[in-house]
Amino acid sequence: MSISIGIHDLSFATGEFVLAHTALAAHNGTDIGKYHVGIGQESMSVPAADEDIVTLGAAAAAPVIARHGASRIRTVIFATESSIDQAKAAGVYVHSLLGLPSAVRVVELKQACYGATAALQFAVGLVRRDPAQQVLVIASDVSKYELDSPGEATQGAAAVAMLVGVDPALVRIEDPSGVFTADVMDFWRPNYRDEALVDGQESVNAYLQAVEGTWKDYSEQGGRSLDEFAAFCYHQPFTKMAYKAHRHLLNTCGHDTDQDRVARDLGLTTAYNRVIGNSYTASVYLGLAALLDQADDLGGRPVAFLSYGSGSVAEFFAGTVAAGYRDHLRTKEHRAAIERRTPVDYAGYRALHEQRLPTDGSDHATPAQSTGPYRLAGISGHKRIYETR
């Protein structure tokens, strides 16, 4: 008899500040409908000067450790595409901040926005090998584009932490998966750049190609039929992309793409992304959090996941929602994380966007702007210094 493995707990954190798209539209002289309707975004999280992927990741994971302890965690997998170091995994800093045992392996995974799904699948494999173990998966990113660029309105920042183990309280991850890879230059960030480069139309086309490719492989591997799924969680670089992707999948399968069908399939999954913005690796799992926090009882129902990472790698897989999952949700905490953000005007956002850490190895203290449990205190001798509040 096969064992049940999946997401036992899920928690997320987001940045200290929030920029409303109305403020961005006023600065750009843009009709707000371009943002609210055109890309489906209302606001975006902006990290404080003393926040980064480590502080966000640790803040997301801390409630998971507080609830379950760390005695069974043997592996931490940190997925990001906004890495802070070419050698040291960001998860090692998180390991220290959370006070995890030394008998833990920590690694960082990278493949654009797909990385967290790779981490989740690798975690399932590790638990299958040793069901006594649990794996902590952290997806943490700060999405950053050049000021006044087409991508600026899709920025965001968030981290999701997932505890993976046997007999999961939230979602059991199913076999099989449909996978797809194609070498395309739709989005990339060379080592010498802080901001990503993106070819918008190529990225949309590459995403839709990946939707087709993953579904074809999933079907050939003996996966579920499209009509079995209660909901679909897509990667959301902006929420309208999820709708475009789902209509494309329905068309590919010869299904109706009427508005009610599409809204029923994924409407609830976009609530958090719509106000947080693109969180890269965390995005599809913010979609899951939004679905579980809002939906009527989904216990026993299958949910589809489409994870896409530019460049490009994608995966389509299914998960069955556990009976009684509502007793284990963090709905109140998730909504508080969004509501606690401090609004900034365009000038305040721009100042945060333009701030850079020194690269000369000098001592530099970061302004104490954040109010979360962890902060980046500064840099000294090219070393990042973190503090616990």
Catalytic residues: 81, 113, 235
Q: What is the DSSP string of 360-375?
A: S---EEPP----SSEE
Which residue bears the tokens 């994380």? 337
Give the β-pairing of 342-343 and 17-20.
Answer: parallel
Nearest CA to 54 among 88, 28, 25, 22?
Answer: 88
Give the β-pairing of 302-309 and 231-234.
Answer: parallel
Is-contact 318 288, C-beta < 8 A?
Answer: no
Q: What is the DSSP string of 112-175?
A: TBTHHHHHHHHHHHHHHH-TT-EEEEEEEEEE---TTSTTGGG-EEEEEEEEEEES-SSEEEEE
- Residues 6 or more apart whose CB falls under 8 angstroms from that of 66 comprise none
Question: Dihedrals φ, ψ of 76, to 5°?
Answer: -120, 125
Q: Copy the structure tokens of residue 126.
A: 């590790």
